[in-house]
Structure 1
Amino acid sequence: MRVVVDLSRCQGYAQCAFLAPDAFRMHGEEALMYAPNPDDAQREQVLRAAAACPLQAILVDRVDGPDTSVGTSPS
């Protein structure tokens, strides 16, 4: 799983830090720090945190490893 936060949109409401404290934390009162590749065990918490962001500044991508289907055709 890959997490990207648009820090120009983030206003420091800290809902993500409350819901997924192992993946998101506030540094001071306004600066958000986050894990770009959180553990899959945190998946549900991270998804809830992204959904709770009032500004929708958090994007979560599912990463399953290399995509072996790109550029290949069935024989």
Structure 2
Amino acid sequence: MRIEVDLDLCQGHGMCELEAPDVFEAGRDSVTVLESEPDESRRADVEAAVRYCPTRALTIVEE
């Protein structure tokens, strides 16, 4: 899986970092993806981050 962030939508709420702190780092206005292709052991956390993003800025792309 690969994570994509729509920076036009992201407002830096930080829900992704709360759900998957090893994968995301929230800034004031946007998020940084620390690991754009996390391994399957982090899937549940990444899916929660995508689900709880208030602006729907995150997407999981299956490869």
Q: Please report the TM-score for the alignment, with normalisation by the length of structure 2.
A: 0.88
Letter of the 1:32 counterpart = V
Structure 2: any 5+ residue segments left out of the alignment?
A: none
- Residue 30 of structure 1 deviates from its aligned partner by 2.5
The residue number in structure 2 matching 1:7 is 7
Q: Please report the TM-score for the alignment, with normalisation by the length of structure 1.
A: 0.75
The residue number in structure 2 matching 1:51 is 51
Count of paired positions = 62
Structural RMSD (CA)? 1.1
In 2: Cα distance, 1:53 partner to 1:31 partner:
12
The residue number in structure 2 matching 1:36 is 36
In 1: Cα distance, 2:53 partner to 2:21 partner:
14
Helix, strand or coil at the partner of 1:33: strand
Q: Relative contact order (C-alpha < 8 Å, sep 6+): which is higher?
A: 2
Helix, strand or coil at the partner of 2:48: helix
More helix by share: 2
Report percent identity of matched pairs: 34
- Cα shift readout 1:29-66 (whole Å, capped 9, x = no counterpart): 22311021112110000001000001111010222xxx
